[in-house]
Amino acid sequence: MSRRTPPASVLITGATGGIGRALALHYAAPGRILILHGRDTTKMDALTQECTQRGARVLALLHDLTDIDGWMNALDKVASVNPIDLAIVNAGATHIIGGDGESWADIERVLNTNLRAALATTSALLPHMQRRGGGQIALISSVSAWYGIPVSPAYSASKAALKNYGEAMRAWLAPRNIAVSVVLPGFVKSAMSDKFPTGKPFMLSAEDAAQRIARGLARNQARISFPMLLAAGTWFLAVLPAPVSQLLLQWLGFSRKT
């Protein structure tokens, strides 16, 4: 595990959300180019101003990631003009299951944002990084990738797939000097976590999460998982017999009863 050179240019998708915004402000520095994606114009304008005040040059991308072809074309054009050293693929969506289950529309929305758009972002950037002979990609997954949380099945599935994809790509791209890290955060204070109906153990601030992610990326960690107790607990659920894991989740209040 070798340390990475500080990036001169950083792409962050979902930059107007909790973790994305904190990461943008963390990386905002004189001489650095920030390519920030978001959909909320008001939040993006405010974030751009804050990052510019810290000395960064900001390029804002207001794009619907579920328009996969349009997003890939836009990203290809941007990367051709502004080579991207670090891409933090952070944009995400969640859904909490109801008494009748998850509708296909909700499942599709979550998978399109969390998985298809994330893989499309990676696919659009890789040719540019391979031509340049290096780069770094961070895929923001979740501790729920270790074991599916009953209140959010589609979300858990999307994050598990993203984790496996990132780990496979890391091994394949390492000889090409392209680093891939999978980030598996627990509960981070944000509008997304506010939707979660159960307890939120070991909740972290977005600023704390951003610091942990940035440190892990600088060290080129394969997995950046935090906080430690929650990460270990969800990993443990994956190795326990399934009936035991299910009982534990029910006891902890993470299973829908209706």
Enumerate the active-site residues: 155
Q: What is the DSSP code (8-state) at residue 175?
A: G
Q: In terms of DSSP H, where are the helices of the chain?
A: 18-27, 41-53, 68-81, 104-111, 117-132, 153-173, 191-194, 206-218, 228-239, 242-252
The residues near 182 (Cβ < 8 Å, ≥ 6 apart) are 138, 139, 141, 145, 162, 163, 166, 167, 170, 222, 223, 224
From 116, 110, 111, select the one nearest 95 (Cα to Cα).
110
β-pair partners for 188 = 204
From 215, 225, 206, select the one nearest 14 (Cα to Cα).
206
Nearest-angstrom CA–CA distance, 17 and 34: 15
Q: What is the DSSP code (8-state) at residue 144?
A: G
Q: Token pair 């902890």 is at which residue?
A: 252
Q: What is the DSSP code (8-state) at residue 182?
A: E
Contact (CB, 8 A) for 27 and 10: yes
Q: What angle do CA 134, 140, 141 make, to 5 degrees?
A: 130
